[in-house]
Amino acid sequence: MRLSGKVAVITGAASGMGKAIAELYAAEGAKVVVSDLRVDTAQTVVDGIGEKGGTAVAVAANVAKEEDVQQLIDTAVEKFGTVDILVNNAGIMDNFVPAADLTDELWERIFAINTTGPMRTIRKVLPLFLEKKAGVIVNIASAGGLFGSRAGAAYTASKHAVVGLTKNVGFQYATQGIRCNAIAPGGVNTNIGTSINAPSPFGMERAMVGIQVNPRAGEPEEIAKVALFLASDDSSFVNGTVVTADAGWTAY
């Protein structure tokens, strides 16, 4: 029970990696706020956690909206008294659109969810963390945040920004008992592909050049185990960094 007594907020937790993280955190003793746009699906996750003896609550939230982020964290505090762990998992793909074809609308939508959302949730929880001189943030970045062409221009830039945000927050608040790390997954079997609609042929062709060297796709539960490590005291000396979990794909 490595997270016994902790309260964790997880965005995009109705499916995929977020769901796996929520379930594992609950199994390790955390009280979990399962946040997602799809509150009905989030409630299904909560029901499953409850059936296994865990404690969780579902909260509808669009991380691209400031008022939703405020309500999300306020609800966590109202239900469970505080927040100890924040996992920024919500994210979408960008249809592999290359820079020449980017629209302002697509760029702003990708950044609103993938980058501005995490900034807002971090901004909201930091006063809680600073008051008690303790707190952990886990951002889900991507191999696309470390390398140049695992997706389109907007997604790639947004995840690079998440990596920079992670390092900045991790260092600046390190003396306040707060840690901030990120996970950079490679290909993982989730439903994030449903956010891809009519991908750019050119952009997808360029992004897929290196896919043949990918040893395998991961499972959400494998990423959840990394997220558990980063949220627990097992990683007390790990801060401001990115853990790559990709079966060795980016080591080539």
Q: Catalytic positions, please?
A: 155
* Residue 108 to residue 73: CA distance in whole angstroms: 24
Contact 92, 195 (CB under 8 A): yes
Cβ neighbours of residue 175 closer than 8 Å, sequence gap 6 or more: none
In the numeric block, which tokens belong to residue 141?
């970045």
* Residue 36 to residue 66: CA distance in whole angstroms: 14
Beta bridge partners of 9: 33, 86
Contact 154, 94 (CB under 8 A): yes
Measured torsion, CA atoms of residues 74, 75, 81, 86, in degrees rounded to the nearest 10: -80
Q: Which amino acid is at 85?
A: I
In the numeric block, which tokens belong to residue 196?
């891809």
In the numeric block, which tokens belong to residue 1?
């029970």
* Residue 117 to residue 91: CA distance in whole angstroms: 9
The edge-to-edge listing of strands for the beta sheet with 7-10 is 55-60, 31-36, 7-10, 85-88, 135-140, 178-185, 242-245
